[in-house]
Chains A and B, each alone.
Chain A
Amino acid sequence: MSTEENFEQLTHCQRLKAAVHHTTLRVCKESVEGKDVELNRMVVAAISEATWKRFETWATDLEMFAKHGKRSTVNADDVKMLIRKSPKLLEHINMLQEQMNASKGETKKKTKKTKSKDTTAQTSSTVTQMDIDEDSRT
């Protein structure tokens, strides 16, 4: 039944929105710690909504950048294109990438393998270090 599918899609969407809102609230609370200001629920909701809308733009852009590079998998360079307007953020992301690659280099030494064609497998082990769930789709 397509209406059932629509309903499930809707609740899936709502769950994701709720997750975004939840994380937004936590990040906001952390940001205002010790700053001597009071958080406002409406502001958090507004930030959460803006972030949600941004995801849509980012997804479309990332997909387009990947297609432009004749790929169907979005990679780090596509993400860097996304933030091209902000040099400081780009610097921050580059540093993060270097950190990720550094720990990836350590895992490579431990496995005693030479160049692995499937680098995504290695990066996903780095990802788990950042206390995130692994996802087989990547």
Chain B
Amino acid sequence: MAERFKQKTVQQILQQYFKDDKTKMTAESLALVTEVATVFVAAVGRTVRQAKKDGDNELSLEHFEKILPQLLLDL
């Protein structure tokens, strides 16, 4: 996948939610979390598969809602 999240963005977002100001991240862990975030978004692929299963060729919220529970459990 050529498109992915920018590590700097991911770091800033996570830093916002850290309860302790002292919490930091290693460069390696940041790279890995960025990859996980990119994979999460690529869940759109599951939405596409669901849409095709339903015989539609436009993605709708209904398709996304169908795959969302499993997505949240997996990731």
Chain A interfacial positions (CB closer than 8 Å to B): 13, 16, 19-20, 23-24, 26-32, 35-40, 42-44, 46-47, 50-52, 54-56, 58-60, 62-63, 66-67, 72-76, 78-80, 82-83, 85-86, 89, 92-93, 96-97, 100, 119-120, 123-124, 126-127, 130, 132-133, 135, 137-138
Contacts and interface: CB of A to CB of B under 8 A. Distances in A.
Contacts, number: 199
Contact of A93 (B16, B18, B20, B36): B36
Interface SS of chain B: helix, strand, loop or mixed? helix
A29 B44 CA distance: 9
In this complex, the member of B14, B20, B56, B71 whose beta carbon has the largest number of chain A beta carbons within 10 angstroms is B14
Contact of A47 (B8, B31, B44): B44
Contact of B74 (A28, A86, A123, A138): A86
Contacts of A100: 28, 31
A27 B4 contact: yes
A38 B59 contact: yes
A59 B17 contact: yes
A100 B57 CA distance: 38
Contacts of B20: 63, 67, 72
Given A43-B61, A89-B39, A96 B24 contact: no
21 contacts: A23-B9, A31-B45, A36-B57, A37-B57, A40-B58, A46-B61, A47-B47, A50-B71, A54-B40, A60-B17, A62-B14, A72-B24, A73-B23, A74-B26, A74-B29, A89-B75, A97-B32, A119-B26, A127-B7, A133-B6, A138-B27
